[in-house]
Chains A and B, each alone.
Chain A
Amino acid sequence: MTDRTSLPTPDEARRLLSDADSTGRQATAAASWPAVAVLLAFGSTLSLGTLALGLTEGRNYLVAMAGLLVWIGVIIAFQLAFLRSHKVGFGKRWVGYIVGLFGVYVVSMVVVAGSQGERVVATCLLAGALLVVSVGCALVEAREARR
C-alpha cells in the first residue's frame, strides 16, 4: 500500500506531469519512421512496377512482374520486422494509406494488364498517381513522427 502522506506536492505533481509528457513523446519518437520507409518503398515499387508492366509485353512483362512481386515481398518482410510500435491514431491512418495506395494500384493493374505496351499515357499517369499518393501518405506520417 502506498504511503499517502508522502504523495506529491504541487511542485512534484508538475514534475510528474512533465515527465509523463516527455516519456510519452520519447517512447513513440521513432515509431513512425519504419512506416514512412514502408510507404515510400511501396510507392516507388508500385509506381515503377506499373511503368514496367504497362510499357512491356511478353517475356519482359513477366520478368517485370516477377521483380515487382519480389520487391513487395521484401517490403512486407521489412514491415513485419520493424513496424513494431504504433503511435496513437496510427491504425486508422495506416488503413487510410493502404486503401489509398492500393486503390490506385488496382486501377493501374486493370489498365496495364491489357496494355501490351500500348497505353503509354495512361500508364505514365497512373505511375505518377501512385508516386503522388505514396509520397503524400509518407509526408503525413513523417509529420506525425515529428509531433
Chain B
Amino acid sequence: MSGEHPRLRLSDTLHQPVRFSMTAALAAAEQLDFRDLRDAVQVSDSTLSKQIAILEDAGYVTVKKGFVGKRPRTSLALSTEGRAAWHEHLSVLREIASGATPGD
C-alpha cells in the first residue's frame, strides 16, 4: 500500500458534478439519446454539449450523430476507457466512504 490518500486517485474529469451525473447515467446504458441524457442530468442543451465535448476529448464518451427522417439524432455511449475510468472512480469513492483512508 502506498499510503496515498484515495482522493488523489479520483478522476478530475469525472468528479465535476455535471460530468459525474452524465457518466453515472451513461454507465447504466449501452447508449443514451442526447435528450434522455439532458433530462436525466437536468441541464441545458448548451451545458450538456460542452460537457460532452470534455468527456469526448478525454476519450470517455463516443458520440454518434445521425438522422431519423429529417430529424437529427445524437446518441452517446461510454467508451471502454470511460467505463474503466468510471469503475475506478467509484471504487475510490467506496474506499473513501468506508473510512479506510490513510492520514484521516
Q: Which of A8, A23, A84 contacts B24 (CB 8 A)?
A: A23
What secondary structure prevails in chain B residues at the interface with A? helix
A7-B29 in contact given A17-B94, A23-B41 (Cβ < 8 Å):
no
| Cα(A85)–Cα(B34), bound, Å | 9
Sorting the interface of chain B by its residue count into under 10, 10 to 19, 20 to 34 or 35 or more gives 20 to 34
Interface size on A, residues (CB 8 A): 32
Q: Chain B nearest CB: distance from A13 CB in Å?
A: 4
Q: Which residue of B lies closest to A31 (CB)?
A: B29
Q: Using Cβ atoms and an 8 Å threshold, which residues of chain A touch B57?
A: none
What's the Cα separation between A16 and B31 when bound, in Å?
A: 22
Residue of A10, A28, A89 touching B97 (CB-CB under 8 A): A10
**A7 to B32, Cβ gap below 8 A?**
no
The residue from A4, A28, A91 contacting B28, defined by CB atoms under 8 A apart: A28
A24 contacts partner chain B, Cβ-Cβ < 8 Å? yes
Number of A-B contacts (CB under 8 A): 100
Contacting residues, chain B, for A17 (C-beta < 8 A): 90, 93-94, 97
* Nearest-Cβ distance from residue B101 to partner chain A, whole angstroms: 8
A16-B20 CB under 8 A given contacts A7-B7, A7-B15, A27-B32: yes
Known: A17-B93, A23-B41, A85-B32. 13 other contacts (CB 8 A): A2-B10, A2-B12, A4-B8, A10-B101, A16-B20, A20-B20, A23-B21, A23-B28, A24-B27, A26-B40, A85-B36, A86-B30, A88-B30
